[in-house]
Structure 1
Amino acid sequence: MARILAVDDEESILDIIRIGLGKEGHQVSTVSDPRKVDMLHLDYFDLVLLDIMMPGMDGFELVRRLREATGVPIIFLTARTDQADVVRGLGLGADDYLTKPFHLDELRARVDAHLRREGRARSQVLTLGEFRFDMSAKELTCGDRAMNLTPTEYAICEFLAVNRGHVYSKEQIHREVSGLDPRGEAAAVATHIGNIRAKFQEVGMAPIHTRWGVGYLWV
């Protein structure tokens, strides 16, 4: 499994990428506004998929910024086939490009090829204030204290922390964490979050907030 960041202003494209690569076991995080890409925690990801034509900040500028922060493979997804654009993108640090519309089989093949080529163990650590996620060991610490979380509790925390600031319903959390049909079991998420909050309270922290009638978010 790889952790993949997809940046595209077309939500339909992001849905295709998330579902298509998710079936291969990859964890896909999506961003529709390139200005909202978190440059401080790019080491979390193994590969980036990036559109060129986006409002606010185009893919050329974003890949330049990405290359200042990470060395992971970057694949352009673009409707622009002009050779000068391709050369410019590769010159700025992209590793490959795929022309829209693309077939999922080709996307999967390109992604797998770059992940195999990368072929190196990378430290997967996410630090948010006092919290430190060791995503290889699946451990969470707060300051010097290890949080005694169950695997499911850890998975919920990691998902919300990686997507911090975004609100997710119980159904969405259950689907993203377990990969199962959420019907009939999503209510258990509220119980897990209650247990997580009790453990966070022991260290005087409360990073998971509730948006009543909507869901939960890490702030």
Structure 2
Amino acid sequence: MAKILIVDDDSDMLDLVRRALAKDGHQIHTETDGQRLSPERCQQYDLILLDVMMPGEDGFSVCCRIRTEVDCPILFLTARTEDAALVQGFGLGADDYIKKPFSLAELRARVNAHIRRESRLPAHILKRGGVRFDMQAKTAFAQEHALPFTKGEYAICEYLALHAGQVFTKELLYEAIFGFDAEGNSSAIAEHIKNIRAKLKVCSLNPVETVWGVGYKWRKDNPV
């Protein structure tokens, strides 16, 4: 059972999502005003569902304000799936998005996939491509400097590094990491990869390789 916060100014939507997730035994809390969310309050949750289009402070602004102090997955509920909106959302630290309108089955599957991923605690160190993965703490380092990956970015890097040299399509990556393949997943993976590369480039690293027309792989010839 996870403790989940749902933030949406639509009370009918809040009630619908609350009842759907409660069926899986989760403890659900709701909020209609993003401005009332403090990082301290958000730290108590295992996952946050955050509507993008809200009056006052929108979901993007809320995510930006709390992300540096909140470690749990943040999933956007949004009707905005154009590339610019996705780039903005993932750049602010979101782990995923769920497109409105969505089915309750998809909602429950996506939420539970993220929660299952959070509960996995492998207990060893992996070193590949100039990056050292602490697979228990779910952190990555380059030359002893912590890489500022979001949880989704870290999970993608860890999975690719564990299977170095193997090529994965965007769809396979999403399903392997988040456990549920749905419309829009390819865009999510592409934006995560873009952010990963930007953060690795700061350390002069580029282990994630694009295989054009197929997908992505972690270069096998770069062990450390």
1:136-175 equivalent positions in 2, closer than 5 A: none
TM-score normalized with structure 2 length: 0.52
Higher RCO (Cα < 8 Å, 6 or more apart)? 2
Give the whole-Å Cα distance in 1 for the aligned partners of 2:12 and 2:85: 24
SS in 2 for 1:86: helix
User: Aligned residue for 2:12?
Assistant: 12
Q: What CA distance in whole angstroms lies between the structure 2 residues aligned with 1:56 and 1:120? A: 37
Identity of aligned residues (%): 54
2:41 and 2:54 map into 1 onto residues whose CA distance is 22
Quick one: distance in 2 between partners of 1:82 and 1:41?
Answer: 31
Is 1:39 paired with 2:43? no
> Distance in 1 between the 2:55 and 2:76 partners?
16
For each residue in 1:172-214, what CA deviation from the matched residue of structure 2 results, as whole angstroms up to 9, or x when unmatched? xxxxxxxxxxxxxxxxxxxxxxxxxxxxxxxxxxxxxxxxxxx
Deviation, 1:42, is 2.0
Distance 1:104 1:7 in 2: 17
Q: Indicate yes or no: 2:105 matched with 1:105.
A: yes
Check conservation: 2:3, 2:47, Cα contact below 8 A: yes
Give CA-to-partner distance per residue, 1:85-138, whole Å, 9 cap, x none: 0111011000000111111110111111111111168xxxxxxxxxxxxxxxxx
Q: Secondary structure at the match of 2:80?
A: coil
Structure 1 residue ranges without an equivalent (≥5): 122-219
Q: Which stretch shifts more, 36-45 or 1-10?
A: 36-45
Matched, 1:30 2:30: yes
Q: How does 1:91-130 map to 2 (within 5 A)?
A: 91-119=91-119
Contact 2:34–2:57 under 8 Å retained in 1: yes
Q: Which runs of 5+ in 2 are unaligned?
A: 122-224
Shift of 1:43: 2.2
Q: Distance in 2 between matches of 1:92 and 1:19?
A: 28
Query: How many residues end up aligned between the 2 structures?
Result: 121
2:5–2:49 contact (8 Å) kept in structure 1: yes
Per the alignment, residue 57 of structure 2 pairs with 57
Q: Does structure 1 conserve the Cα–Cα contact (< 8 Å) formed by 2:8 and 2:32?
A: yes
Q: CA RMSD in A?
A: 1.3
- Cα distance in 1 between the residues matched to 2:18 and 2:75: 15
Q: Which runs of 4+ in 1 moved over 4 A?
A: none
Q: How does 1:193-208 map to 2 (within 5 A)?
A: none
SS in 2 for 1:44: coil
